[in-house]
Structures are given as C-alpha cells and as structure tokens.
Structure 1
Amino acid sequence: MTVPLPGDPLLAAKLSVPLQVPGLVRRRRLLNRLTRGTEGPLTLITGAPGAGKTALAASWAWSASAPGPVVWLTLDEDDTPGAFWAYVVEGFRRSGELAGDALGAPVRADGVDRSLLTRLAFALEGAPGPLVLVVDGLEKARGDAVHNGLRFLSDHAGPALRLVLISREEPPLPLHRYRAEGRLQEIREHDLAFTRSEAAQLLRGRGPAPEDHLVDLFLEQTQGWAAGLRLCALAMARSGDPAAFAGSLTASEQAVSDYLLTEVLAAQPGPARELLLRTGILNHVHPDLAAALTGRADSGRILQDLARRHAFVEPLPGTRWYRYHPLFAEVLRAHLRSGQPGLEPLLHRRAARWYAERGHSAEAVDEATAGGDWGFAADQTVRHLLVAPILAGTAAFPSADTFSRMPEDTPGARAPLVAAACCLARRDAEGCRARLARAQDAQDAQEEAGGPEAEPADLLTAALLRLLSAPGPADEDAHRVTALLARLPAEERARHPEIGPLCLYGQACAWLRGGRLQSARDGLERAVRACSGDATVLLRHRCLGRLALADALAGALTLAQQHGEASLAFADVHGIPDSQRSGAAGLALAAVAVEREELAEAAVQLDRAELLHDALGDLDLLIERSVLHAQLELARGRWDAARSHLDGQLAEAAAYPAGPAARLAVACATAALARGDAGAAAAALERIPVDEGPPSYTVALAQVRAAAGRPAQALELIEATERSDAVTLPDRVRLVLLRAHRALLDGREDTARTLLVEALDLARPEGLRRPFREAGPWVRYLAGRLNGHSASYAWLASPHAQADHRVVEELSRREREVLQQVARMMSTEEVAAELHVSVNTVKTHLRGIYRKLCVSRRRDAVERAHDLHML
C-alpha cells in the first residue's frame, strides 16, 4: 500500500480526530478517567468492536481536556509498520511541536529502523510540553514492529509523550510492568459498557423517551455494548413498536449482522441498498467510482444522504471520498458473497478500469489483483512502468508480493515480464532470465499472429530487467535502456525518477561482475549522484554499498571506508529496516579491515553483513563473503579453515561470470600458496579458466610461476600486467614485491631493498598490509636491512595489525645448526648423533623452527630458510 504524501487528502483522514455523531452521549465518568490517564505516560482503551472506544477518545479529544496537542492516527488493516511510523512522524510534524523533517521517515512498508525511533524519542524528550499520541485500531498492526516501537518510545521518550492506545485486545506490551510501576491507566471493556442512565440517554436521543423496562431490556440484551445500543436506537427510531423490536434482538454476532442487514441495509431505498452492496468491496468510495459500479448517475447524492443520516457511511474530511464503518463493510461484503458469489471479482475488475482511465495505475493494479484479473494487472504494471518501483524497492505499490498469487500461465507477454521483475526483487536472477525468455517468446508469437508490436514501455521494461539480471557486461542493454528512456515524455520520466539510477546501477554491477573494475566504480558514482528523492532512497543505499565494495577491490581503502560508512548512515537516517538493507557496505568495510590486517574489525563487519539477506542471496556478494572469510582465516594461519570457505563455491565456479570466477580462483590460489603448494595453486587457476581475466588473475599466475621455480614465465606475466591500465593498487604492490623477491633470490639485495621500499611507499597511503604478509617471511628479513629507509617499514608493524604471521623470529644458534643438518636430508636420529644431543631435543628444536618460519613440514622449513638466506 502506498504511504500517502503530506499533501494527500487521505492522509488528513488518517490523522484527523473522528467527527462526533449527533446524539453522542458524553460519558463524563470515562472522560475524567481519560484525562487522568493522560497525566501519565500510557492509557490503554480495550474492548470488543463497537464498544465505544473510538467515540470516547474522540469525544475527549474534541473536549479540549488534553494536556497538550493531540496527534490522532487511525490504523487500517492494510497499514504496514513502515506506513504506521511514517504517519506518526507526519502527525507530530503537523502538530507543530516537532520538526518532522529532521526526523527522517521510513522508506519501506514492512519495517522501520531503530535509529528513527531513537531520533523520535530524543525529539520528544526535548518537547516544550506534553504531546498526546492516540493510536486507534492498534490490533490491526502487523507483526511486532509497531508494538516494539511503541514500547521503545514509552520507555525512552521522556515525560512529554502521553500515549493513548485503542485496541480490541491487549497489545503485546509489558503491561504487568507498567501496572506495577503505576505508569498505566486502563479503560477496559467492562468500563466501556453503558450504564443504565447512559443507555437511557442514548436511546432517548433517537426519539421519544423509552419506558424504563425497555431500557432495562435493551441494556440486558446488549450488555451495555455501545454499538448494539446505537443500533437499537437507530432501529427503534424507525420502528412503530419499540417493545416488539426490543424483544427480537439478541446479543450474538449473528444478530448484529442480521440487524445490520435487516434494519440498516434493508431499510435503505433500493438504489441506496444496491450502491452499498456494490461499493462495500472498496476501502474508499468516490461518487464517480460508485457510479461506475452501479450505473447510477445520482451515486454522489445517495452517498451524501447516507452520510447525513449516519447510516454507517462517513465522509473523509476535505475530499469527495467516503468510507464505511468497518463492521458494516464486512457485513456488506459477506452478504454480497453469499447472495451473488460471482459479482465481487467483477466489481473489482470494473473498479480497476475506472482507476486506470483516470491515470491511477497503482490503484488499478490493486483492484485488478483483488478481482483476479492478472492480465490487466500486469498490463497496467508494464504500461505505466510500475516495474521500476518493484525493482527499486520503494514503499510504493505494487510490490513483488502483490503478484505472489499470479498464475505462471497468465497469458500475454506482460505477465512474464512482471514475474521476471518479482524474481529479481527476490534476488533470483536466473528465474528472472527464464521469465524474460518466456516474455520474448510470447511477444514473438503475438506478432506472428498479427498482434500489436511491443510498446516502448514493454521494450524499456525488458531491457531494464535484462540489464539488472545480466551475468556479465551488458553494455548493449544499458545503451538500449538509456535510448528508450530518452524517448519517454518528460512528465513520464518525472514520475519514475528511479529508472535512470536503476540503469546506471545495473550497468555498473554488470561491469563489476565482468571484472571491469574502474568502469564499475565510475558507473556507481554516477548512479549515486542520480539518486534523489524518496523513490530512490533504498537504491542510493545499495549504490553506495556496491561503490564501497568496488573501491575496496581497487585498493582505494579510504574511499571504500567513506562510501561504506555513508551507505550505513544513510540507511539509519532513512529508517531502512534490516530486511531491506544490503550487505555490500558491510562486506566492503570488512574488506578494508582485512587489507589493513585489522582482523577483529573485519570479523565484526563480516558478522553484521551476514545478517542481511542479500549477502547470502546475491551471487556477487556471496562470493565476496566466502573470499573474505578465507582471507581472514589465512591471516590467522588457519589454512584448512580458509579452504573450507571456498570449497563450496569452487564446485560451481565454472558456471560463474568472469569477475566472481576470477575472484574465487585467485582466493583459492592464494590459500594454496600460503601452504607452500604451488601445484594446488596452479590447479585452482586452471580449474576456473578466465579468458582475458582481470589483472589480479594474471598477478596470481605470476605468483604461482615464481613459486614453482619458473622465474622467466613469472617475469613475462609481471611485465605484461604492469602495462595494464586496469591494474589495482594491491596488485601493483604485489608485482613490485614479486620483482623484489626475484632480485633477492638472484643475490641482488640492493635492488631488492629498493623495490621493497617502492612497494611500501605505494601501500602506505591506504594502509595496505595484506600483500606483505602473503608475500612471505623474506619481507621481514629484507626489511631488517633497509638501513636509512627503515621508517618506510615501520607503519607496516602497526599495533592494530595482526602480526603473528608476518613477523619471523630469529632462529637460535642451535636451531640454525639443526636446520643445516635437516637441509642435508638427514633424519632426526642422524641429526641427534651429529650434534651429540637427544632425539627429543632435536624434535623440540624442529618445533621451534616450524613456529618461527610459519611452516609445518621439514621441506617447507628448508625452502623458507633458503628464501630468507638463512642457509
């Protein structure tokens, strides 16, 4: 359901104190209790439907007995938690006591972030005087989000906030605690029951004063139920025999329904009765809409007359719209279904056409889906580009849930287009592509049969969906979306400000998926700038998160941190709930921490990101999550754990797009090299062949060739990669380190030191530490001989970094002797005999050697010692 904008007349009805009907009994005993209740933080009014809860609170609000301004909010069945809090913020803004613009507002229909509630509580705590918030119909609140938010406000907003909650049942709040603390005033159903004097006054207000025994009879039969008494008063006023009527009424629900049918509906003239039955299916009724459903030109006059006579029809203030009392509407719908079972869907479909003819496409879709007219609903959704808000994830209608019941075999080319959009909204890119193919087949068949060609809206929708679901670069679709968008009338483009940013976002994600890192970063920056207004709030959050991730992959760690934090802060300010937040920003911040060797921070950010749905459902983020876990485990020296995070993805990696496949291949190769297994590293890269792979893939190949003792091939790859404009900072540092290591092995230590200083100077501005740890212990050895350039290395040993596997301790004299004998391929017993020590002593020295060289086998210890020039 669409959350009304501040200028929407329906919003005035939501935030208006209900009008007082003529003949209302002012129940002083309850009004006084309500006044006393609002001297404290919470008043709860509970009772059955029609018990007089709303009438009491409205009478009190109109009596000017409140301690301060009254913000009234009437909940409806289809109000979502996000809509509820948007109404609350708007209500406080209209009161003039709070600056609503500074509070922000929810952008999603299904939830609200705690940060908005915190800001609201803080604003209320600083309010100049008491503010009363009346929530009418609290039992209609979905889930726990509304109740939890009200509990939070009650506990943290300070003494200025006075809550009055009206509900048919006790809300899930800690009422026992509030009672014990004396913070709760309750007006319950038995309190609301009319006393004899109140009942007599109510009955007397509708006609001649009834005899005392009739008052007693009505009171007994209704048990003081306000709606029942009012119904009695209405009927008795029209009845020529009040005593006979009183004897016929029972207190059961069926009696109320029967009464509403016989004494309210049946009492209306034929045209009014037909209008009520045919329009009772609607949430709100307009005279012209009523005319469309009834065929009567005098529908406006009939509605006006029904409202004037208080026949459970109420005008919405400031509009030509009306709404029915909920109990009456339920009875009307039930009666229509039982009497004319096939008429209700037809009426919904007719209402859908009425809305569509007047350009209210969202309402048209709502009515069409209610009537099961899925083809028309899909037609309206595509024709008026309503797929865009589905993809952008705004609070607008329709949403993916709107079409959850649409049959897969709905005819036409537009139904599969809508189904494709719904799949994509659920992060099912493969399902989206499958339905796009069905849509194309249906369109081709339609044109072959002489049907109409696809309209620009169809072409634009299909191109946008192809772009956003593309497994790799999709430049052609991006250009097509841009060209089709340019052909739209200016007013149509203005109605859909999310399409442009969606196009930029989709193209950038496709570039990122295809390994075109710099293009992706440029595209995401443009997408962020293009996002403006409420329609693109969630999209801007996502764009900032992806931009941060692309920055991190490029080694622009400072920018990645800025964009990642901006994405999270933006989500907080706009109250985006966790169910709609993207994990991209959290993964980007985790990547920054991993690259800087801030492992504790990396673990925290990873844990937070994994709580968000797209970190597990989006392929790109899923791969990034696995790679980051592996990098984190490698930094801790847990090689097997690192590989376990990659194995699950490795089995399916051959089918992945180029970017994720290369990312996964490089991570697997890095894990294998950390174990000293160049063969496994080469196999990991060969297992996932990447044509024209990104520079990181080529750098990994060069590292594997170098580790396998093939320096010429490694140098060839290094030189080829250095000439690429796409090489990232981390990979440029790795290339310099490869040259430095080669020079050290060739005995050119001065050259190696110079190259190491170059690598350190490249990495220092971004605090990039990971390449140095992964390069091996020789970095520590060479850094100790930097002489006048030792300051270039000092930053690398920051106390914030995990240094356990970067720092190599010096071997003792005896450990060096043991290592020299091991290098001669001598057994443990032979080494013991040669050095005149026990076998256990040799084993102890070997364990110390393994620990200091960060290896687990003899062979690795000897190779590492050769690398470090210890032998």
Structure 2
Amino acid sequence: MTVLVVSVMPPADAFGTSTDRGGPPRSGPPTAGESPPADAPAPPVAYAGEPLLTAKFVPPERPHAYVHRQRLTDRLATAATGPLTLITGPAGAGKTTLAASWARTGPLPGPLVWLTLDSCESAHADFWAYVLEGFRRTLRTTPRETAGHRGPGGLPVTGRVEHSRLIHLAALLERLPRPPVLVLDGFDRVRAREVAADLEFLLAHAGPGLRLVLTSRVDPLLPLHRYRAEDRLAEIRAADLAFTPYETAALLDRHRLSPTPATVGLLTRRTEGWAAGLRLCALAMRQSGDPDAVARTFAASPHAVADYLLTEVLDAQPAALRDLLLHLSILDHVHPDLARALTGRPDTAELLDRLVRRNVFVTRLPGTVWCRLHPLFAQVLQAQLHHRRPGLAPRLHHRAARWFAAAGDADRAVSHAAAAGDWRYAADEAVRTLLLGRLLTAPGSEGLHRLLSRMPADVPGAGPALVAGACALYRHDAAGCRERLTAAARQLGEGGSGRTPETALVHALLSLVCAPLAPGQDDRGLRQRADQAARRIGALMERVPRPLVERHPELAALRCAGLAHVLLRTGELDAARRYFTRATGPDDGPHDDRATGRLRHAALGLLAVTESLRGELTAATDHATAALALADRTGLTPHRRSGAGHLALAIVAHGRGAHQDAQRHLTRAEQCPDTRHDPTLHVECALLRARLHLARGRWEAARSTLDDCGPAPSAWSAERLAVARSAAALARGDTVAALAAAPAAPAAPAAPAGTNDTAPAALARARAHLAAGHPDRALRHLAPLDGAALSRPDLIGSLLVRAHAAVLTGVPATARELLARALDAARPEQLRAPFTEAGPWLRVLLDGTGDRTGPATGHIWFGVRWGDGRSAAGTPYLVEPLSRRERQVLAGAARLLSADEIAEELCLSPNTVKTHLKTIYRKLGVSRRREAVDRGRELHLL
C-alpha cells in the first residue's frame, strides 16, 4: 500500500453524483458568489460552533505563470494508487501547487476529497468535522453514525469524534466501488496528536478503500518506518520538488523572460531549485531593464526572497530555534558540537534534529551528523544576525575558527579567523598546518588565494609575511615573493619569535620554488643554494609531525619540482629530468590530484620540455600530452595552466619538421602566464620562434625575436641565445657575424665537454668556420666532443659538421658514412630538424649521384624525395616517391573511404588497395591510415 501527501481537489462534479437523503442529484457545493437555494439546509458547523468554510474544500487555483512538471504529476499519480502518499518540503517548495495540479489534471483513482488545513483545525474535533463534511460533499451520502449526535442548535454534544464513528467511516469506505482520495493540504498545521492516531486507525481498517495524500513541512506523527517496510508509503521530498534547469527556463519563459543558459544555470544552482525563490526572482527580473543583471544580483544577494524567508520560515519558529538559526548563519556546514560551541547550549543536537525534521531549509548530509543551511537562507540569517545582534558575528567566527582548528580542519579555521578579522591567527594557522603548499599545487586553490590575499599588508609577524609571499608567488610575482621572504627571515631572526619547524619548512620551500624565477643569478651559486635548501627541507620534514606531513603529499613534490626547475635553468638536463620525474610521482601509482594536480601538470610539462631539448621526442610527446590531459581533467582555468606542455609539443613538432603544428603549439604556450614570467621558458619560446622564422627564410624576423628576448637569466640560456644568433647570421650568409655571435672558445682548449665548453657552443663555432671555408678550424673545435656523452641533437649535429668538413676536403665517402650514422641516430625519434637546418651542402651530398644505395637507404621515415631532391616545403627528403596509383589510394583514404569504396572507385580489387596502403605506410614511415593522411598533407601530396 502507498501513502501520498498532496493538497489538490478537482471540482465536485468531477466525481459521480448520488442522492443525499432522497434529494435531487447535485454537482457540488455552490461556487463562490452563488446564493444557495431557498430550501437549502443550513450550512454545517464545526465543533466549535463556527460554520464550515467552503473554500477549504476546493483545491487552490494554479499560480500565474504556472509550469506543468509532468515528471512530478506522473510520479504523484503512480503514488496515489497506494494507501499513503507524503509530500514534504520547506515553505515555497511547491507542495500544494503539485497536488492541486494533479487533482485538476488526474488521473485520480477515485473521487477527490480536498481539505486545506490551517491552525483553526488544530483541534481534534474541528479537524474531523471538516474531514467528515468533505466526505459528505463528495460522496453525497454518509452513514448516520458518522454525523455525530447534535444537541440544541445543531451543535454536537461531544468535543471529539468517538472511536465508533471512525469504525463506521472505515466500513463505509470499504464498500465504495472506487477508493476516494483524501488530500490533507498543510497537515503540519494540525497540532492534535490524536489526529495522527485516528488516521493510522483509518488507514489500517479502510483497506484499499482510501487513498490518503498529505502535504506537510514536517513528517507526520505516523509510523512511517513501518509503512516504508511494508511498501505502503510513497514519498515526494524537497529534492524531488526542486526545479531542474530545464524547468527553470520554462518558468522564466512563462514570465516572458529570455535569459541566457548561463543565467538559468546560475539561478538554479543558487536557489537549489527552490520554487518560491525562482518565482520571486522572475518577478524582479520582469521589473528590471536588465534581467540578467538582476539574476546575477539575486544569485549574490537574497534580497528578493528575504521577506518571504523571514515571514514564512524564521519568524514561524520558536524562540530557541530562531536563536540557534541566527548563530548558525555564519557556517556552511554545522556539527552538533560546533553548534554547542557557538551557542553554549547543551541541547543543540536535539534542536538541530528539530530543524531538519521541520524542513526549515536545514538538511542533514547523508550518513553523517553534519547539517547544512540553504545558501539563500543562510545569507538572510546573516543579515538578520547583524541587525538583531550587532557585534556578535565576529565573536562567533572567532569561536568557529578555534573549533575547526582543534578538529584539524585548517581551511575552515583560516576562513573563520579571516572573517573575524583575526589575520594574525589566520596566517599563523595557515603556516602551522602547511596550508600554503596546497595554495601552489592544488587545482582548486583560487578560493584560498582570494581569502588570503585580503589580508592587510601591515599585519606583523613571520606567518603573515610567508602568507603574503605565497600569494605573490601564486600570482607569478617572484619579486614580491622574495621581498616578503626577506621580511619573514628578519622576523624569524629577531629573537626567534615564531620559529617552528613548520614555519622554517614553509620559508625554505617558498625560497626554493622562487629561486629559478629570479633574473640574473650566478649559475653556480644558484645551484649551491638550491641544494642547500633541498637538504634543509628534507631535514625539516623529519622534524614536523609525521601525520601532518602525510596529509600534505605536495611538500615532497614541491621540493623535487623546485630543485628540478633550478637544474633546468642552469642547463643540467639529466639531473632536471630525474627530479621532474620524482615531482610527477610514479607513472602507475595513485595520485591525489586534488592536492597536487596543478603542480603535476606543470612538472609534467617541464619534464617534457627537458626531454625535448635532449631530443627525446617520443617521451616528451607522452609527458606533454599527459600534462594537457591532467589540466583538462582537473578543470584548471586558463590563467592557472602552464605553457610548458605546449612548448614541449612545439619543440617536438619543429624537430620532426611539422612547422605548422610547432607554430600552433608555440602560440598557445605564449598565452600562458608562466611562459611570460619564467625566464627560462621565456627564452626557450624566443629560441623556437627564431628557428621557425629561419625555416621560412625570415632572417631579420629571427634576429629581431632574439634581440627582443631581453637579458638571459643564466649562463646556459645566454649561451643558447648566442648559438641562435650565430645560426641566424649563417642563414643570411654573414659568416663574420656568425663567428662574432658564436660563444667564445674557453681559455683551455682541452676543457672537457659539458663544463666550460658545451657541445652547442662548440658546434656553433665549428659551423661558422665551415661557412667561412676553414674545415680544419671547425674540426679543432669539435675535438673536445670526441668520446663525450652527447644528447641526440648534439650527436647528430657533430656528425653533420664532420660530414660537411669531409665534403669540403674532398672525401665524399667519409661524408656519406658520417651522414648515414647521423640518420641512424635520428631515426628512433624521427628527428629531421638538424638535417633541414644543415644548409644546401647536404642536398648536394644526398642527390649528387642518385645512388639508391647511398646514405638514404633504409630511412623511409625521413620523407619523400622528389626529382630535384626537395620536398614541396623546400627541404630535402630521402625516400622513394609514391606512385600515381598510390597517391590516388591515399587521396581516397583522406576522404575517409573504405578499402572497398576506394577499390570500386579506382576499378581495383580490395586486396590490391590493401597492398597499396601497406606500401604507402612503408614509404611514409607510418603505421596507421590517419598518420598516412596527416603525413601526406604535411608533404603536400594531397
């Protein structure tokens, strides 16, 4: 059986007519304003002697701009086929509207008895007088036993319905052909406990002859748990009554409003689908010339619904509950112990239970003792708190901050301390709980930054200085961070005030992370200070309580990422790669992206940049792609994303000869804030853009890009800029300028590679000498590289310089051998850039003899060779060209045709097409159709 609670009743003539004591058939009570016939009997009276009001037996009219919600009326119709239906929700949730709509549109299982209740029917006898009269009006017949014995003047002789009357009513209901639907609207207004007991008896003994629907703000005093277990209860709760975004849009449309989807979503989220709030907002929007602005204001301020909530909700509560609600208004989530700490009342748990049961816009979080207030109601309560109890709010926030701090909830402790204006405590608590690490690593740290950045600049102490420094670093303001770190160090040094392991740890972490962002530091000194800071951080983490460290996995990640960033800046790519890998965590292990997602995103991108500079293009692509995917997965906003991943993909695309892809990724990288504020990334973006200009023959643009780059942040970056300037001079044929721009040779010519005389610098000098016609000098500059462990690009560059020297000295066999070795080294990563940038001499070496057994043999990955030894892009390629038929098959694949469709179009067999596709894959050095199409477009074959 099912119990339904709703307040709706169709007109009386919707139900069948019957005679009342032999009288003529009637279709229902007189309508409003209609005079009763002269011979009509006197209107019935309640037990208190007052006439029964006809309006209470009629469902209310639909409100203006009513939105029919079929999902709810269907659910109510299904529920009403059972014995009991309960519709509960807070004021304005749409309980009565739903019941009335269903009563008017049906379908109904039987005749409707509608009764709108108010406080007048709180007495037991009055309630049953109205219920029995409702049955009489609908059924047109009642057993004499249910009418009660009346004394003089028609008044009953007793003050309550005797039990025998309920027995006779239950017997009558059992005999009816169709079960009537009794809708009691506003059942929470009935205070008499006997009424619930009588309804329970009636439900138990009427059998299938009654369908009871109750609308109420609170659960009735019925054994609902037993009804649920027996499947006799259907419930429609506040969450079910909430408007969906689609329904919100329909409601606004009924008010002749056309808001944007964003406005609809904002209103739905802010009101949580509360019907009355949405209607009040719609009315306010109609009266304004800018409905969207009103919606945004409503979403930020509850003024449009304040009067409703105050009158219908707050003022309707007893004094104890009103006082508790005002105290709780400062909270987003409420625990009974927290409520006790704010109010000093020992009975707060019981009062909270009453608020939840009464649907006073307080709901319990599932499976916990925690509760939450509706956000609009909380804002109204906050305004009333300031109005009725001025000066209390700061004291409440102060108590809440201490309670949350003791409970280990640092976020809320800091938030309430800030709301209380106690910034010194808020900052010290953020440092003590190591909250600042998450500010720099978590994807959703914008709210924490907004909170902490409100702190006044003149708050004394080391904690506030560290908080200000972390906020500056969050904004990529490295100079501001260093200034605040200096102030914090001064505070910690003056008598050791505030010096704790946590404070020292935060100071060391911020110093390490900030170090590689400072301009113009000595590489050796920077590396030494970074090593010292990393060791100090490790020692301090041992002194901090282990549970606290375990709750903050971002600390170890920050340490590794900071040291890796320093190593990247100083050009120690092998070591930088190791530490960036540690910062990203294990590839197959769990990651807490809520705590470290933003840091892992940046570290993966920087790891990819490090690998791309070493020529490890496959690994760089994988890590850069993972960095971008992580940013999407964690919802990082554009101004919080790192450009390192896009920069790495741009370097990879340039290295493989895909200049358009390189340009696209580089543009996206330069739009990210860190590539503008990080000196190392800024230089790498400028270097790549200059190389792209050179690839298109734009020498002046390349030189201008390098000149506009600004001062180099480190000796390693300065050397890379010098190498690029030398390459730009060589591209325009100015060997003198190329020699002048190349990094100078070290004083000791035998210095080992990788210390003073790095491989890129030696190669730049060697290329300049070769261009000037001095191969012997070029080879002398390469001598220190013999036997050195070189990166892939440097190894290929060294082999190509030696091959060029062999060409100039007339040893073509040696040149071809060296070229073949260079191609073998480039093949695993398909690294084309060193060859395409080598100059016209390489084309002569490749195509001078036309020998198919030369150095190009076996290097299909490199590209397509045309008759003039050039690709359509103007660069030499080294593999067999596609036949005319193969190009036709490739064109069909580009149009997404299947093998059978290509075969039919070209009059070939499907097997022949498949054979052509395999040959195309081999010649283009790919393994899939999509890659073949992309490669064909890159080579202008399509």
If the length of structure 1 is used for normalisation, what is the TM-score? 0.62
Q: Which residue of 2 aligns with 1:516?
A: 572
User: Counterpart in 1 of 2:728?
Assistant: 671
Amino acid at match of 2:854: H
The answer as to 2:406 corresponding to 1:361 is no
Q: One-letter code of the match for 1:172?
A: T
| Residues 423 and 764 of structure 1: CA distance in aligned 2, closer, same or farther (over 3 Å) | same
8 Å CA contact retained: 1:515, 1:693 = no
Task: Tell me if structure 2 keeps the 8 A contact 1:390–1:398.
Answer: no
Pick which of 387-396 and 530-539 moved more: 530-539
Q: Is the 8 A contact 1:289 1:351 kept in 2?
A: yes
Correspondence 1:557-572 to 2 at 5 A: 557-572=617-632
Structure 1 748/686 Cα, relative in aligned 2: closer, same or farther at 3 Å?
closer
Which one-letter code corresponds to 1:35 in the other structure?
A: Q
Q: Name 2:555's counterpart in structure 1.
A: 499
Tell me the distance in 1 between the aligned counterparts of 2:557 and 2:808: 52
Distance 1:605 1:792, change over 3 A: farther
- Where does residue 799 of structure 2 map in the other structure? 736
1:445 Cα deviation after fit: 2.0
After superposition, the C-alpha distances for 1:564-589 in whole angstroms (9 at most, x for unaligned) are 22333444455545444322222111
Asked if residue 300 in structure 1 is aligned to residue 349 in structure 2, the reply is yes
Q: Distance in 1 between matches of 2:278 and 2:669?
A: 50
Deviation at 1:545, TM superposition (A): 1.8
- Alpha-carbon distance, 1:552 to partner: 0.8
SS at match of 1:730: helix
Please say if 1:789 is aligned against 2:850.
Answer: no
Shift of 1:560: 1.6
CA distance in 1, matches of 2:95, 2:446: 32
Per-residue CA distance 1:145-165 (angstroms, 9 max, x = gap):
xxxxx8xxx9xxxxxxx9999
| Residue matched to 2:260 | 172
**Which of 639, 649, 653 is 1:589 aligned to?**
649
- What letter matches 1:173 in structure 2? P
Residues 499, 339 of structure 1: alpha-carbon distance in 2 compared, 3 angstrom cutoff: same
Partner of 1:533: 592
The correspondence for 1:779, drawn from 813, 818, 842, is 842
Query: Equivalent residue for 1:813?
Result: none
Residues 681/585 of structure 1: CA separation in 2 closer, same or farther (3 Å cut):
same
Give the structure, 1 or 2, with the largest relative contact order (CA under 8 Å, sep 6 or more): 1
Pair 1:671–1:311, CA change in 2 (3 A): same
User: Distance between the aligned counterparts of 2:804 and 2:613, measured in 1?
Assistant: 24
Q: Post-superposition shift, 1:174?
A: 9.6
> Structure 1 281/804 Cα, relative in aligned 2: closer, same or farther at 3 Å?
closer
Query: Do residues 652 (structure 1) and 701 (structure 2) align?
Result: no
- Distance change (3 Å), C-alpha of 1:483 and 1:280: same
- 1:798 matched to 2:863? The reply is yes
State the Cα deviation string for residues 256-314 of structure 1 (Å, max 9, x = none). Answer: 5875799457x615xx5554433322223333223323333344344445555666655
Preserved CA contact (<8 Å) 1:776 1:806: no
* Conserved? CA contact 1:261–1:331, under 8 Å: no
Structure 1 counterpart of 2:196: none
Q: Alpha-carbon deviation of 1:355?
A: 0.8
- Matched residue SS, 2:540: helix
The equivalent of 1:378 in structure 2 is 427
Task: Report what 2:515 is aligned to.
Answer: 470
Using a 3 Å threshold, how does the CA distance of structure 1 residues 314 and 532 change in structure 2: closer, same or farther? Answer: closer
Q: 2:70 aligns with which of 11, 27, 35?
A: 35
Moved more, 576-585 or 540-549: 576-585
Structure 1 unmatched runs, 5+: 1-19, 41-48, 66-131, 139-149, 155-161, 177-185, 194-250, 809-871
SS at match of 1:33: coil
Q: Per-residue deviation at 1:593?
A: 1.4
RMSD over aligned Cα atoms: 4.5
Spell out the pairing of 1:598-617 with structure 2 (5 A cutoff): 598-617=658-677
- The one-letter amino acid of 1:458's match is T
The question of whether the paired residues in 1 share the 8 Å contact of 2:277 and 2:305 is answered with no
Residue range with higher mean Cα deviation, 759-768 or 582-591 = 759-768
After superposition, the Cα gap between the structure-2 partners of 1:273 and 1:462, relative to the gap in structure 1 and judged at 3 Å, is same
User: Secondary structure of the equivalent of 1:789?
Assistant: coil
1:551 match: 611
Contact 1:393 1:425 in 2 (8 A): no
Contact preservation (8 Å) 2:730, 2:768: yes
2:776 paired with 1:718 = no
Residues 49-60 of structure 1: matches in 2 within 5 Å?
Answer: 52-53=92-93
* Residue 763 (structure 2) pairs with residue 703 (structure 1): no
**Within 5 Å, which residues of 2 pair with 1:3-42?**
33-35=68-70
Shift of 1:793: 8.6
- Asked whether the 8 Å contact 2:567–2:575 carries over to 1, the reply is yes
| Structure 1 residue 383: Cα displacement | 0.8
Equivalent residue letter for 2:494: A
Cα deviation code 1:782-835 (max 9, x no counterpart): 223574324249648614996645459xxxxxxxxxxxxxxxxxxxxxxxxxxx
Instruction: Show CA shifts across 1:113-145 (max 9, x none).
Output: xxxxxxxxxxxxxxxxxxx9979588xxxxxxx
Aligned with residue 485 of structure 2, among 429, 433, 436 = 436
Identify if the C-alpha distance between structure 1 residues 614 and 133 changes in structure 2 by more than 3 Å, giving closer, same or farther.
farther
How many angstroms apart in 1 are the aligned matches of 2:632 and 2:721? 32
Alpha-carbon distance in structure 1 between the residues aligned to 2:442 and 2:819: 48
Q: Residue 159 of structure 1 corresponds to which residue in structure 2?
A: none
Aligned partner (choices 676, 692, 695) of residue 756 of structure 2: 692
Question: Any idea what SS the aligned residue of 2:444 has?
Answer: coil
Q: Kindly indicate whether residue 543 of structure 2 is the aligned counterpart of residue 479 of structure 1.
A: no
Corresponding residue number in structure 2 for 1:814: none
Any conservation in 1 of the 2:6–2:95 contact (CA below 8 Å)? no
> Is the CA contact (8 Å cut-off) linking 1:366 and 1:398 kept in structure 2?
no
Measure the CA separation in 2 of the matches of 1:720 and 1:697. 12
Asked whether 1:291 is paired with 2:336, we answer no
Once structures 1 and 2 are overlaid, which stretch shifts more, 708-717 or 387-396? 708-717
Contact 1:287 1:299 in 2 (8 A): yes
What letter is aligned with 1:603?
Answer: Q
Shift of 1:635: 0.8
- 1:667 CA drift (Å): 2.2
Q: 1:661 aligns with which of 698, 718, 721?
A: 718
Query: 1:485 and 1:135 mapped to 2: Cα distance?
Result: 52
SS for the counterpart of 1:395 is coil
Partners of 2:91 and 2:313 within 8 A in 1: no
Whether contact under 8 Å (2:604, 2:645) holds in the other structure is yes
1:652 is displaced (CA, Å) by 2.5
Counterpart residue identity of residue 480, structure 1:
R
1:618 pairs with 2:663:
no
Structure-2 change in CA distance of 1:574 and 1:317 (3 Å): closer
Q: Judge which range, 799-808 or 284-293, deviates more.
A: 799-808
Q: Name stretches of at least 5 consecutive residues in structure 2 with no aligned partner.
A: 10-58, 76-88, 106-237, 265-272, 281-302, 517-525, 747-753, 878-942
Equivalences for 1:421-460 in 2 at 5 Å? 421-447=470-496, 451-452=497-498, 454-460=499-505
Q: Are the counterparts in 2 of residues 283 and 323 from structure 1 also a CA contact under 8 Å?
A: yes
Distance, in Å, in 2 between the alignment partners of 1:413 and 1:703 is 55
When residues 388 and 253 of structure 1 are mapped into structure 2, their CA distance, relative to the original with a 3 A threshold, is closer
Cα distance, 1:765 vs structure 2: 2.4
Q: Which residue of 1 aligns with 2:751?
A: none
Closer, same or farther in 2 for the Cα pair 1:377/1:601, shift >3 Å? same
Aligned partner (choices 300, 319, 335) of residue 268 of structure 1: 319
> TM-score scaled to structure 2, two decimals?
0.57
Q: Say if 1:478 and 1:503, in contact at 8 Å, map to a contact too.
A: yes
CA distance in 1, matches of 2:357, 2:447: 35
Mean alpha-carbon deviation: is it higher for 489-498 or for 702-711?
Answer: 702-711
1:221-255 per-position Cα deviation (integer Å, ceiling 9, x unaligned): xxxxxxxxxxxxxxxxxxxxxxxxxxxxxx99786
Q: Is the 8 A contact 1:760 1:793 kept in 2?
A: no
